[in-house]
Structure 1
Amino acid sequence: MMKNIKNYSLLLFLSMLMISIISCKRNDGYNRPASTDKTKPAVVTNVKVDNYNGGSYITYDLPKSDNILYVLAKYQIRDKEDRETKSSYYSDTVNVEGFAASKDYNVTLYTVSRSEVMSDPVTVTVHPKTPVFSLVSETSALQTDFGGVNVTALNPQKKSIGVIVIAFDKSTNELEVQEQFYTKSDTINYSVRGFNTDAREFGVYITDKFGNISDTLKKTINPLFEQLLDKSQFSVYQLATDSPIGYGWVLPNLWDGKTDGNSDGWHTNPGALPPWVCTFNVGRTYKLSRFVMWERPDGGDKYAFNHGNPKVFSLWGSNVPSPQDAQLPLTAPVGAVVGDWINLANYRYPDPPSGLPVGSTNAADNAFVLAGVNFNVPLNAPVVHYLRLSVSQTWSAGNIAHVMELSLYGQPQ
């Protein structure tokens, strides 16, 4: 089982490992003309260690020689896992990282000449602090969710980690990987769905880009029942403070099942100040679990992560018969009550996967928008019969908002 887990983790971080390998090969001043001087260089001296979570900075004095090209550090980050790090002659520090535990490790330092002649070894002991993947694992928790399991954890250092969710599979009689995702977020709140309500053992473990793996947290959970809300029962519930419609993109387009951008969505009229709000009736009372939002994708113009697509928004709900109008605030804490309406949750649409600035997104970013994005509704949110989508900020910070489609999931009451 652990062998399979390790393989999954290595696959998860293959791209990051490749980046790491490439960075080790980049030109940091090593590629100077080869020297004919085959003299063994002197060793580094005055070695000092500064430990941090999962690694150590080693500082030193270089020998006084124009023939030194770099300092090489050789070490093991775990049993039979060798690693090398180079630091050019321009630096007095080498960073050794990726250690699997907080304990003593030996690091061997060599000065290397321009003729690739290595000095005698200098061995130093480092004792890195607890690695980040272990710290995150210590805070991880599993709880039941609609259609599956919810994972929470804290990553206050915002380091790159992987969260691997496993579940018991009757066909193999093993815990098998269900989903894995990579994040630098300081707060992890992630759900894996698609399961029936039968009791099932779930697990989660944390890994990093060096292939380190935490212990697995396991828990038997009965997933809660959820279903896609029947959009044929949705209807407009027009309120006076709802944003005027623009360009004929009427509110029922928000649940017409069309997400590809070749048809109309919901669109406000230009000129109004945020929040931009629409209100609708979902046909009956539900305990909501999540929803999928499809923003406007690229078409003739760059709409993905741009234009009137929501960046920051809230979902408000009510279970009051014929709820009355109320002016929603631009921002409000979750659970805030305004008239007959309660703030179910606040959301921020994810940044473009490419990391490109607004207006410069690429095909991968547009594919992300076309696929739709899942947003969880908190488990403690009240049941609702009416909903208000309130957009407080768009990607262009302009004076309109638009959304192609919403699909909501939950448990009928």
Structure 2
Amino acid sequence: MKKIEKYIVRISPLILVILMGLLSSCKKNDGYTAPVSADKSKPGVITDIKVKNLNGAAYITYTLPNSPNLLYVEAEYNINGKTVRQTKSSYYTDTVLVDGFAKSQDYKVTLRSVSRANVQSDPVTVTVHPDTPYYLLVKPTIKLTADFGGVNIKAVNRGKSPVGLILIAMDVSTNALEVSDQHYTNQDSINYTIRGFSPTPRQIGAYVTDKYGNVSDTTLMTITPIFETLLDKSKFSTYRLPSDSPTAYGWEVPYLWDNKTDGYSNGWHTAPGGPQPIQVTFSMGVSAQLSRFVMWERPDQYAYAHGNPKDFSIWGSDKPAPQDASLPTLAPVGAVVGDWVNLGNYHFPDPPSGLTPGFTNTADAAFVAAGVNFDIPPGAPIVRYFRMVVRDTWSGGDFAHVMEFSIYGNPQ
């Protein structure tokens, strides 16, 4: 009996602690809206207000009231005649940023001090006059031009502000302008092509938005896309030149157009330790003005690794039998060396995940397996022969491999 009593005495404090915890957890939860202070006095107003106008925004600085119960300062303002925004700044700072304004004009901003008991001060109103918002600075720089199978869009975003370029096009089924593409970016130089249009005149327009819902007016014009088609791979053939890289492991040049992109089939693979630069040449069997090409690198465990090209150039020739030449690994687009002209210099896109190559994920592998589109700059000369010169691979090694090419353009 004594042993039992001794055991009970030892465990009782632990039980008591547990019970106290359970009881405390059952207390009523007043929620996040419960006042954090019982002091219901009204805080003082901010004073000594100054305004610094920015593009589509303004910094407002002030002197905080001498209110020990102050929690934050709140700014309330209408940015475009329909949308009201609220911005808060804690009592640790003397500045609040108001942003999202649609135009460069006067706007009223109402400022209130707010206490820890959620009591507001009397309002103070200040006028701001923001500079032109970035989305309106981008709008006049938009240039729409006909491109292969669609329209090319160029614009300048010097502020590198997040903007959306919205392309609208006449829909033949609805006979109305419909949204055809939405492109969001914060890059300073914008240049991309939207494809999928027939080579017939079509009304096309573009406008700019920002993350606050502001919308510019629309640039409208009639554009006739340039005809584009996938070149017939049955006409492709090997055109080996003396300086082309020797192949290895049974991965020969014709596998570059056999329509097999999986990791189990053969592609083109050069021999390790071969002469530099790494290069391959073939005939497309027809002269064409090229618009773009899709390249499939070796997928799965080889994605962003091994001999997959990282930086490379494409050269072309329309000579009946172009002669070999020592081509540089990097040259200006349009540069001519012997019978060959540089059609473009390319960097295979970095892993979409942002991870370091070697630590990429399944989404990055899927991106590689799907093939990557590379545009040929507009106005490129007509060519019949296609030559790739590899400047660097993802492993930095002395060999390279590619699974497949699909080449688009306008055959002559």
1:275 and 1:393 in contact (8 A); partners too? no
SS in 2 for 1:253: helix
Quote the residue 1:405 is aligned against. Answer: 404
* Partner Cα distance (2:88, 2:36) in 1: 18
CA offsets 1:346-399 (integer angstroms, 9 cap, x no match): 222333332223233333333322332222212211000111112223334444
Instruction: Give the fraction of aligned pairs with identical amino acids, expressed as a percent.
Output: 61
Q: Which residue number corresponds to residue 295 of structure 2? A: 293
Mapped to 1, the partners of 2:117 and 2:248 lie a distance apart of 71
Question: Which aligned pairs between 1:117-132 and structure 2 lie closer than 5 A?
Answer: 117-132=119-134
Matched residue type, 2:204:
F
* 1:13-28 to 2 correspondences below 5 Å: none
**Cα 1:339–1:80 shift into 2, 3 Å:** same
Aligned partner of 2:91 in structure 1 is: 89
Q: TM-score, normalised by structure 2?
A: 0.86
Q: 2:237 aligns with which of 235, 241, 255?
A: 235
2: CA distance, partners of 1:119 / 1:307? 65
Q: Among residues 139, 145, 148, which one is paired with 1:146 in the alignment?
A: 148
Q: Verify the 8 A CA contact 1:32 1:114 in the aligned structure 2.
A: no
- Indicate the residue corresponding to 1:44 in structure 2: 46
| CA apart distance, 1:204 | 1.2
Q: Residues 313 and 329 of structure 2 are in contact (CA less than 8 Å); yes or no, is this contact kept in structure 1?
A: no
Counterpart contact for 2:353–2:363, Cα < 8 Å? yes
Conservation of the 8 A alpha-carbon contact between 1:151 and 1:190 = yes
Aligned counterpart, 2:346 = 347
Correspondence for 1:309: 308
Bigger mean CA offset, 177-186 vs 259-268: 259-268
* Alignment-derived partner of residue 327 in structure 1: 326
Is the contact between residue 253 and residue 404 of structure 1 (CA under 8 Å) also seen in structure 2? Answer: yes
Q: Is the 8 A contact 2:290 2:410 kept in 1?
A: yes
Which amino acid letter does the alignment assign opposite residue 244 of structure 1? P
Indicate the residue corresponding to 1:109 in structure 2: 111
1:391 aligns with 2:390: yes
* Residue of 171, 192, 195 corresponding to 2:194: 192
Match of 1:10 in 2: none
User: What is the letter of the counterpart of residue 35 of structure 1?
Assistant: S
1:220 to 219, 222, 226: 222
Amino acid across the alignment from 2:329: L
How far apart, CA to CA, are the structure 1 residues paired with 2:58 and 2:204? 35
Deviates more, 1:50-59 or 1:380-389: 50-59
Once the 2 structures are TM-superposed, how far is the Cα of residue 168 of structure 1 from its aligned partner? Answer: 0.5
**Residues 58 and 128 in structure 2, CA contact (< 8 A), matched pair in contact too:** yes
Distance in 2 (CA, whole Å) between partners of 1:246 and 1:126 is: 69
Q: String of CA shifts for 1:199-230, please: whole Å, max 9, x gaps.
A: 11111111122222111111111111111011
Instruction: Report the number of matched residues.
Output: 381
Q: Which residue, out of 258, 268, 271, partners 1:269?
A: 271
Distance 1:223 1:230 in 2: 21
SS at match of 2:379: coil
Aligned to 1:180: 182
Counterpart position of 2:169:
167
Give the Cα–Cα distance (whole angstroms) in 2 for the partners of residues 102 and 307 of structure 1: 53
* Secondary structure of the structure 2 residue equivalent to 1:63: coil
- Native 8 Å contact 1:296 1:403 kept in 2: yes
Q: Which has the larger radius of gyration?
A: 2
Q: Which residue of 2 aligns with 1:133?
A: 135
Q: How far apart are 1:404 and its partner, in Å?
A: 2.3
TM-score when normalising by structure 1: 0.86
Contact 1:274 1:393 in 2 (8 A): no
Describe the shift of the 1:283–1:62 C-alpha distance in structure 2 as closer, same or farther (beyond 3 A).
same
Structure 1 residues 32 and 364, CA gap change in structure 2 (3 angstroms): farther
Q: Aligned partners of 1:128, 1:395: CA distance in 2, in Å?
A: 47
Q: 1:273 Cα shift?
A: 7.7
Aligned residues of 2:245 and 2:275 also touching (Cα < 8 A): no
- What is the DSSP-based 3-state SS (H/G/I as helix, E as strand, rest coil) of the residue aligned with 2:50? strand
- Structure 1 residue 371 and structure 2 residue 370: aligned? yes
Map of 2:159 onto structure 1: 157
Note closer, same or farther for the CA distance 1:108–1:285 as it changes in structure 2 (3 Å cut).
Answer: same
Question: Residue type of the partner of 2:197?
Answer: F
User: Aligned letter for 2:86?
Assistant: E
Question: Relative to 1, partners in 2 of residues 1:362 and 1:222: Cα closer, same or farther, differing over 3 Å?
Answer: same
The alpha-carbon deviation at position 91 of structure 1 amounts to 2.4
Deviation of 1:244 after TM superposition, in Å, equals 3.0
Counterpart for residue 75 of structure 1:
77
Instruction: Say what the alpha-carbon RMSD is for the aligned residues.
Output: 2.3
5+ unaligned residues in a row in structure 1: which ranges? 1-29
Alpha-carbon distance in structure 1 between the residues aligned to 2:338 and 2:131: 51
| Mapped contact 1:166–1:203 kept (Cα < 8 A) | yes
Number of the residue aligned with 1:337: 336
